[in-house]
């Protein structure tokens, strides 16, 4: 990718994040931009890091390991795994990442517990929209699921994650994101050592501004970085 265009896209993203923070009266450093690099090559990913972005996300084991090898000299990178993680791939992935964004099954938690060498920062995925095609815990089952994680000492529930329907209008987006914010506050109020649940991973390229306005602390942005 042409570096000049990437720089322009970065400036545009940063301006929109700053605007959303101003609207919601939040400090800009309360939002972490995760660059989702799953659609670009190793060198483009390196360019993103050179522009100052240290949080990167992948959703495939092979691409994650390939890019980690390519960027091995960059010690400040925080790696996020987003999307579905098959149980058979947990042993290869889980000790290579800093955050996992899609915990939604006890069977997956059991595999992480078995394979992790240290405590893993996890987001519980919540299906706030109720879409049949979406992964995630239903809001009604969330508290029970969180309580079931109590004895998994290799898992720290740092927050909740959701994906809004792609065709949502602004009012619908605000509804979904505000719902997740309320769920996060409910879990945080329990003061659980293993589930501080202070973070919200929500908002992607097309909807990160309303997500920030509703309280997102991590936004997962891919295509906005790399559009030509």
| Predicted pLDDT at 36 | 98
User: Look-up: residue for tokens 């990160």?
Assistant: 208
Phi and psi dihedrals of 145, rounded to 5? -65, -45
Contact indicator for 71, 48 with CB cutoff of 8 Å? no
Contact indicator for 112, 131 with CB cutoff of 8 Å? no
CA atoms within 13 A on the CB side of 172: 10
Contact indicator for 100, 125 with CB cutoff of 8 Å? no
Closest among 118, 113, 125 to 97, alpha carbons compared: 118
| Predicted pLDDT at 132 | 80
Mean pLDDT by 10 residues, the chain (228 residues): 92 98 97 97 97 97 97 97 95 98 98 98 96 90 97 98 95 97 98 98 97 98 95
| Predicted pLDDT at 83 | 87
CA atoms within 13 A on the CB side of 75: 0
| Predicted pLDDT at 23 | 97
Strands 32-36 and 199-201: unpaired
User: Residue 100: beta bridge partners?
Assistant: 81, 122
Closest among 217, 213, 125, 198 to 163, alpha carbons compared: 125
User: Look-up: residue for tokens 């508290």?
Assistant: 143
Contact indicator for 117, 133 with CB cutoff of 8 Å? no
pTM value is 0.96
Number of H helices and E strands in the chain, helices first, is 9, 8
What distance in Å separates the CA atoms of residue 219 and residue 208, rounded to the nearest whole number?
Answer: 6
CA atoms within 13 A on the CB side of 8: 8
């Amino acid at each position: 990718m042409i570096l000049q265009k990437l720089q322009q896209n970065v400036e545009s993203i940063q301006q929109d994040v700053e605007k959303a923070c101003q609207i919601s009266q939040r400090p800009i450093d309360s939002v972490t931009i995760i660059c989702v690099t799953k659609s670009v090559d190793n060198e483009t990913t390196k360019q993103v890091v050179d522009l100052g972005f240290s949080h990167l996300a992948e959703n495939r084991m092979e691409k994650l390991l390939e890019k980690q090898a390519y960027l091995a000299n960059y010690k400040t990178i925080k790696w996020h795994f987003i999307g579905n993680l098959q149980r058979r791939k947990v042993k290869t992935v889980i000790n290579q990442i800093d955050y996992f964004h899609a915990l939604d099954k006890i069977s997956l938690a059991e595999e992480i517990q078995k394979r992790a060498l240290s405590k893993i920062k996890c987001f519980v995925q919540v299906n706030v929209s109720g879409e049949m095609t979406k992964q995630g815990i239903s809001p009604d089952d969330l508290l029970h699921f969180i309580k079931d994680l109590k004895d998994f000492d290799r898992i720290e529930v740092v927050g909740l994650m959701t994906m809004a329907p792609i065709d949502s209008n602004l009012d619908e987006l605000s509804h979904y994101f505000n719902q997740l914010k309320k769920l996060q506050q409910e879990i945080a109020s329990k003061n659980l050592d293993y589930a501080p649940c202070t973070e919200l991973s929500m908002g992607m390229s097309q909807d990160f501004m309303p997500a920030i306005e509703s309280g997102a602390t991590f936004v997962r942005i891919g295509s906005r970085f790399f559009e030509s």
